[in-house]
Amino acid sequence: MDYVTEERRPKKYRNYKLAQAMVQLNMIDTMGYGIHEMYEKQAKRYLPLPDYDLTMPQAVKLIIYGDVVDPAYSKLLIKNTDLSIMEIIALDRVQKGQNISKGMARELQRKNLIEGRRPNYYVSSSVAEATNKKAKYIRNRIQDDTFYMQLILDYIDKYECATRPDIDSLLIPTLSEVLDEKQKITKIGHLLTKLRKIEKIENVGVGRYSKWVMK
DNA sequence: AGAGGAGGTCCCACAAAACT
DNA sequence: AGTTTTGTGGGACCTCCTCT
């Protein structure tokens, strides 16, 4: 992220000849402006911005999207050509379901560029459609929870019972990237409590031997 | 027996939406 | 504009099991 902003871009290389040699040996990209340029080019083409995967300690994985993920995002960019690069990046994160800072979220919300509630923001495609969309998005969000709950119910229905690890491995891959591992566990805990409260399922046993069954 | 861990429950704080 | 409702994450606490 830092390399995208002005401060972190190299203005010139201190050892020009060394840099040239490294370029010729394909050890570094042409002029060191690559990352910033890629972001700008993708934005100009109304495409989703590149992502970095830093999970591997020895390598950096760059994902460049060749296709539009969220059409609403592209429309928005076309209509708002005066957005700053940081705003575009933040919007892009929203459309990918990733986290953004509170301050940025507030700012984007004020400009009617995003809707929804932390941490479930959505890119709004236009102010005129906002009211329609809002209802739709809220419905989507509620649907998400019922979707997850249905997954749990289906699982228990099929296998008659489910342990917590069963349910975790069932839901964790499908939960939003916004949540980290710990938050996902908490969320699943809440979902289970919810299901128990509406008396769909019940918990038997305790600790390692606890399992969920249909009520 | 006691420490530590796993899993569940309850409740609180916070923020945003909905309501009036 | 102020108030109420709702959704969410997180912490404290409880029970019971396992390990030493």
Looking only at the bridges linking them, the beta strands covering A201-204 and A161-162 are: unpaired
The number of folded domains in chain A is 2
Smallest CA–C1' separation from A205: which nucleotide? C16
The answer to whether A164 CB sits below 7 Å from nucleic acid chain C is no
CA of A193 to C1' of B9 (A): 8
Q: How far apart are CA A214 and CA A142, in angstroms?
A: 22
Same domain assignment for residues A178 and A122: no
Our measurement of CA A144 to C1' C6, in angstroms, reads 16
Residue A150 has a pLDDT of: 76
Are both A117 and A18 inside the same structural domain? Answer: yes
Nearest to A107 by CA among A130, A91, A128, A92: A91
Q: Are residues A15 and A93 in the same domain?
A: yes
CATH code of A157's domain = 1.10.10.10
A190 and A88 in a common domain: no
Say how far apart CA A111 and CA A140 lie, in whole Å.
Answer: 23
Between CA A7 and C1' B2 the distance (Å) reads 57
Say yes or no: A117 and A190 in one domain: no
Q: Read off the tokens for A7.
A: 């401060």
Tell me which residue of A167, A80, A175 sits closest to A124, measured CA to CA: A80
Find which nucleotide's C1' atom is closest to A141's CA: C7
Give the residue from A109, A128, A147 where a domain finishes.
Answer: A128
Distance in angstroms: CA A92, C1' B20: 37
Are A141 and A102 found together in one domain? no
Domain that holds residue A205: 134-214
Instruction: Please tell me whether residues A13 and A105 are part of one structural domain.
Output: yes
Instruction: List the pLDDT tens digit at each of the 215 positions of chain A.
Output: 444 444 444 555 566 677 667 666 555 555 445 566 666 666 555 455 566 666 666 666 666 655 444 444 444 455 544 555 566 666 666 655 566 666 666 666 666 666 665 555 665 544 223 333 333 443 444 446 666 777 788 787 777 778 777 777 777 766 655 556 666 777 777 778 777 766 677 777 666 667 787 76
| Range 15-54, chain A: CB under 7 Å to any strand C atom | none
Distance between the alpha carbon (CA) of A168 and the C1' atom of B19, Å: 37
Three-state DSSP at A52 gives strand
Task: State the nucleotide closest to A116 in CA–C1' terms.
Answer: B16
pTM for the model: 0.43
Is the domain of A69 the same as that of A29? yes
| Same domain membership, residue A115 and residue A141 | no
Mention every residue, 6+ apart, whose C-beta is less than 8 A from residue A122.
A94, A114, A115, A116, A133, A137
